[in-house]
């Protein structure tokens, strides 16, 4: 089981869109996927067609079972039209406003990592959608995460958020190791937090700012920069229909971009 978190300390860069699409694309390819909504706004929950719910709070604070907290997503909502329904599975751990109190409950920072250990052998991929604002919720995600994907627009404020997020990862990785040494919880080993990739989103090829900043990303981060995602109307449409773009327009350029990202995630899974 691999845990991937979508993170950037800047809102509106596409974290929720891509947490949802990564989760559904891998489920469409036959994986058993869990999407965790760790944002009090609950947008990942809404985007999958569910209603706001206290799943993450119930699991971590009320100590409910996974069976109680999880919501299954029907295969029709992540399969490719006119093809056989996927044999993959997708569950969502939903969020609502109560999620903001998870970070105030004085929980051990390994609580999410510990609960996820209960799913070993049942889940192939966990995708965490994080909030843009740094908080104790980020600490819970860091302690449970193997890899981070950083969606970013090629614009000044988003690039600034990316820089802050990369620095936060380095500090969190060190804290993760230190916390494990001090912890009396039965967690024998945790992985370092690695960068899976930097995902340029909402890319506008006709602007100087975006093209120059994309060049800077490639110069600084090389192969960690994934193929850019063009700014297309279909992304907003997919949100309003609560469906992935490959379900709405399976032959579109946007759908092809999703599968490129899915290929990158599968490389991580198979590493």
How confident is the model over 131-177, as pLDDT tens digits? 988 888 999 999 999 999 999 988 888 888 888 888 888 888 877 77
Question: Does the structure show a pLDDT above 90 at 28?
Answer: yes
Q: Which string of DSSP letters, residue by residue, matches 8-59?
A: -SSTTSSHHHHHHHHHHHHHHTT-EEEEEEE-TT-HHHHHTTPPP--HHHHH
Do residues 86 and 75 touch, judged by C-beta distance below 8 A?
A: yes
How confident is the model over 41-75, as pLDDT tens digits? 999 999 999 999 999 999 999 999 999 999 999 99
Q: Report the distance separating Cα 238 and Cα 213, nearest Å.
A: 27
SS3 of 143, please? helix
Predicted local confidence at residue 168, as pLDDT: 85
Predicted local confidence at residue 185, as pLDDT: 60
**Nearest residue to 138 via CA among 169, 115, 97, 170:** 169
Q: Report the distance separating Cα 97 and Cα 53, nearest Å.
A: 9
**Domain 2-270: CATH architecture, name and number where available:** 3-Layer(aba) Sandwich (3.40)
Do residues 200 and 207 touch, judged by C-beta distance below 8 A?
A: no
Question: Does the structure show a pLDDT above 80 at 223?
Answer: yes
3-state helix/strand/coil string of 203-252: ECCCCHHHHHHHHHHHHHHHHHECCCCECCHHHHHHHHHCCCHHHHCCCC
Q: Report the distance separating Cα 22 and Cα 2, nearest Å.
A: 13
Do residues 26 and 125 touch, judged by C-beta distance below 8 A?
A: yes
């Amino acid at each position: 089981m691999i845990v991937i978190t979508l993170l950037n300390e800047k809102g509106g860069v596409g974290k929720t869109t891509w947490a949802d699409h990564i989760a559904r694309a891998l489920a469409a390819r036959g994986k058993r996927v869990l999407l965790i909504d760790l944002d009090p706004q609950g947008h990942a929950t809404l985007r999958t067609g569910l209603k706001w719910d206290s799943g993450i709070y119930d699991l971590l604070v009320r100590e409910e079972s996974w069976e109680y907290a999880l919501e299954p997503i029907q295969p029709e909502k992540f399969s490719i039209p006119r093809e056989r329904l996927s044999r993959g599975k997708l569950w969502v751990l939903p969020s609502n406003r109560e999620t903001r109190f998870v970070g105030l409950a004085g929980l051990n920072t390994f609580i999410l990592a510990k609960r996820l250990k209960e799913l070993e052998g049942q889940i192939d991929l966990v995708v965490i959608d994080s909030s843009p604002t740094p908080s104790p919720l980020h600490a819970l995600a860091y302690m449970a995460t193997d890899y981070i994907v950083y969606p970013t627009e090629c614009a000044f404020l988003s690039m600034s958020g990316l820089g802050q997020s990369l620095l936060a990862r380095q500090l969190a990785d060190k804290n993760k190791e230190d916390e494990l040494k001090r912890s009396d919880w039965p967690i024998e080993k945790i992985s370092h937090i690695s960068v899976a990739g930097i995902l340029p989103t909402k890319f506008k090829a006709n602007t100087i700012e975006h093209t120059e900043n994309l060049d800077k990303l490639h110069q600084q981060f090389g192969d960690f920069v994934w193929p850019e995602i063009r700014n297309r109307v279909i992304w907003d449409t997919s949100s309003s229909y609560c469906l992935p773009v490959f379900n709405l327009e399976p032959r579109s350029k946007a759908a092809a971009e999703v599968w490129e990202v899915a290929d990158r995630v599968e490389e991580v899974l198979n590493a």
